[in-house]
Chains A and B, each alone.
Chain A
């Protein structure tokens, strides 16, 4: 099996949690739907391409930032009002707290049909400078290439240390006896339903974010070079 491995660095990013409005909360690492969406945009997909991924990373900290957000607002027909033609809305600004993760070293493994992974690699810089999180959260790509993960068996005598943060399938975490933060995370949406309702309804996946621990049993995919576990989350 070939996986596409991407390593990157972000100075600052907000991986916004859905439905967080007046206080923009963040996940510790880019969530599944964000990475899935990134992939689909880069390969210019017109329909859903089955994908699985492992998202890992190490960051320095979290800061709360007070930012001005540009908002569309109701027209109040005041003189100084700036009206956004075409939307029939007024332009307004409002301060909002935004949680930001900073100093993030990301490693992402993607699994999909090889032709798409190839296309992703080729297209990555062609469309525009890549970003992950919000549009302005640019990501510097330090490495992108195919790797061949290996399967390894772990035991009391051969353990693997988890050094970085990563999302695990809930089932994997349970099997390994590792505990962390449980998230029910958006993964992909149903296009037909979205077209019909005008809203995106997501299929969710139960994942566990962990940032430390030992793997002491079981057989898992490993990236030999980094000595990290690869636990693919997705639908292939």
Chain B
């Protein structure tokens, strides 16, 4: 068995890539990474272990992965079919608007113009594609001229049909050549990516890698060990003085980066194939018309590394929102139930790479203080945060999810009672059937949020010693509920709305006197004594907010008995 340990970020990407290429050997079960065949592949905390038999069929899987990731072949087949369909549909007046928008940004006047211009537009696009696709162009041989197409539109359709036919019939050849084109861009010239290799590329890869790896027939260097694992003998003639990748920042010239000015990189065949698999560990995403690649570097464990990259992949491929990384970060915090150390949370970095360029990777990260990381790691906080995963508010037609917003406020140190005020305003508006505002948050959730803010202020922001506890907050919450019940019993339910609104306003501007005034008047009007616990609200601003909002949430709350019981249990 060969062991491969987590290492630098590119090597880690290589491990993820290697696992992705061999994805038939593992699965994620109950949120853990498990091997389907421990004789071939095993997972340790910070290493993977595999038998050389794993390389059986590796070349094909490697090519398949690159071919699918590149995606050109499938995309073009689809596009050509679309072209044919659009050509056929262009005479039908029903499709005018759609096609006009799709090809001409809606600039055409009528269907007649579309019928004339569409074939030429598609032909131009087709030709442009062919200019970057030599193999297909060569096989297609002659294309009709523009004049021919003007005279006879179907000649373009025939050419497109022919292209599809050629691609389907020669799939294997396209497969080989596309993989080479794609990876050469990323890795430079190595093995089958060498410029002089223009046929039997798969065979070359098979002979260079799969076979010698599987049979353990790689010739070893007599002098050098592998600089990466430092355990295995280096492969003969594999001094990587050209570096591992274009953007890795290591090349024979940057000698001041290396100990003793010696930029030699002897690698063993195992570390070499790991590095050679890194493309498969990255997630490609279209951004501003070009493809960039994302990778989360996490070194806490193999399990985290693989799962976090899967999570990122899921988010990147399903959601296109501006806040991709915030969404990712939010989920990563909520899903990782077994983060081993606060440091791992503090050190999550997402790398964005432009592989075709020698530019440096961009690093995105969130700066988390130790206290904040601890706050987010705390099970209770995590559970409470998770309660907001389906909540939103709407201002007119704009819908905003609450959880990412909370996370953003936490990261920015802006998580404060004013956010609670905003949500309460939306809640009260929703109750009044407002046209402009809507939310699905409940008073009980608002009270949970209140507790979270309280905890955040005491544990993370620090320097504040609150004179109250969370229990005090829940006690006051039930006092609020008590008042609501009292009003209901006196047939004064309609008063709740107006009182709440006044209280909300007093809280917004931090007016303790006004707040107490409203309370006293209300309690007195119904012949009740104001609970003594309210004295505490007068002590300082934070206490006032924490307790004031608790009361208001309680007053608004309509909880069933079971939920109330649950809270009592949880909070003693």
A contacts, CB < 8 Å to B = 17-23, 25-26, 28, 58-64, 70-74, 87, 89-90, 94-97, 99, 165, 179-184, 193, 196-202, 204, 209-212
Contact = CB atoms under 8 A, between A and B. Distances in A.
Contact of B8 (A20, A64, A179): A20
A71 B248 contact: no
A183 B46 CA distance: 7
Contacts of A209: 341, 343
Nearest to A75: B253
Interface in B340-379: 340-344, 346-347, 349, 351, 360-363, 365, 367-370, 373
A205 B356 CA distance: 37
Contacts of A202: 230
Nearest to B346: A62
B249 interface: yes
Contact of A20 (B5, B9, B266, B301): B9
Interface string B85-116: 00000000000000000000000000000000
Contacts of B45: 182
B253 A61 contact: no
B361 A97 contact: yes
A201 B230 contact: yes
B347 A180 contact: no
B343 A181 contact: yes
Contact of A210 (B230, B341, B373): B341
A180 B253 contact: no
Given A89-B255, A94-B249, A25 B8 contact: yes
B97 to A, nearest CB: 47
Contact of A64 (B224, B266, B365): B365
Contact of A22 (B248, B253, B368, B370): B248
Given A22-B249, A62-B365, 8 more contacts: A17-B7, A19-B228, A22-B250, A58-B370, A59-B370, A61-B369, A199-B227, A210-B340
Contacts of B340: 179-181, 210
A10 B224 CA distance: 37
Nearest to A29: B343
Nearest to B231: A204
Interface of B: 5-11, 45-47, 223-225, 227-228, 230, 247-250, 253-257, 259-262, 264, 266, 297, 299-301, 340-344, 346-347, 349, 351, 360-363, 365, 367-370, 373
Contacts of A90: 253
A209 B340 CA distance: 9
B245 to A, nearest CB: 9
A97 B360 contact: yes
B341 A181 contact: yes
B254 A72 contact: yes
B360 A96 contact: yes
A97 B361 CA distance: 8
Nearest to A19: B8
B256 A71 contact: yes
A95 B360 contact: yes
Given A23-B351, A198-B264, A204-B230, A180 B341 contact: yes
Contacts of B363: 23, 64, 97
Contact of B360 (A22, A61, A179, A196): A22
B377 to A, nearest CB: 9
A64 B339 CA distance: 21
A96 B370 contact: no
A201 B368 CA distance: 35
20 contacts: A22-B360, A23-B297, A23-B361, A28-B347, A60-B369, A64-B367, A71-B257, A72-B254, A95-B360, A165-B341, A165-B343, A181-B344, A182-B45, A184-B5, A197-B223, A197-B225, A198-B260, A199-B259, A209-B343, A210-B340
Nearest to B47: A184
A96 B249 contact: yes
Given A61-B346, A181-B301, A94 B360 contact: yes
Contact of B254 (A23, A71, A180): A71
Contact of A28 (B256, B343, B360, B368): B343
A236 to B, nearest CB: 22
A70 B248 CA distance: 16
Contacts of B343: 28, 62, 165, 181, 209, 211
B262 A198 contact: yes
Contacts of A198: 260, 262, 264
A181 B47 CA distance: 12
Contacts of A74: 253
B219 to A, nearest CB: 18
B27 to A, nearest CB: 23
B367 A19 contact: no
Given A20-B9, A209-B341, A62 B347 contact: yes
A209 B5 CA distance: 16
A198 B256 CA distance: 15
Contacts of B257: 21, 71
A73 B225 CA distance: 27
Contacts of B256: 70-72
A170 to B, nearest CB: 9
Contacts of A21: 8, 248-250, 257
Nearest to A198: B262
A61 B249 contact: no
Contacts of B347: 26, 28, 62, 99
A17 B361 CA distance: 17
A193 B301 CA distance: 31
Nearest to B221: A197
Closest 9 CB pairs of A and B: A22-B249, A21-B249, A182-B46, A19-B8, A97-B363, A20-B8, A182-B45, A74-B253, A28-B343
B238 to A, nearest CB: 14
A179 B339 CA distance: 9
A87 B9 CA distance: 30
A197 B260 CA distance: 11
B46 A184 contact: yes
A193 B224 CA distance: 9
A96 B373 CA distance: 26
Interface centre among A17, A28, A184 (most CB of B within 10 A): A184
Contacts of A210: 340-341
Nearest to A91: B256
A63 B367 contact: yes
Nearest to B245: A22
A230 B335 CA distance: 33
B224 A72 contact: no
A72 B361 CA distance: 20
A55 B227 CA distance: 26
A197 B365 CA distance: 38
Nearest to B367: A63
Contact of A62 (B249, B300, B367): B367
Contacts of B342: 211-212
A73 B8 contact: no
Contacts of A199: 224, 227, 259-260, 262, 264, 266
A89 B349 CA distance: 33
Contacts of B365: 62-64
Contacts of A196: 223
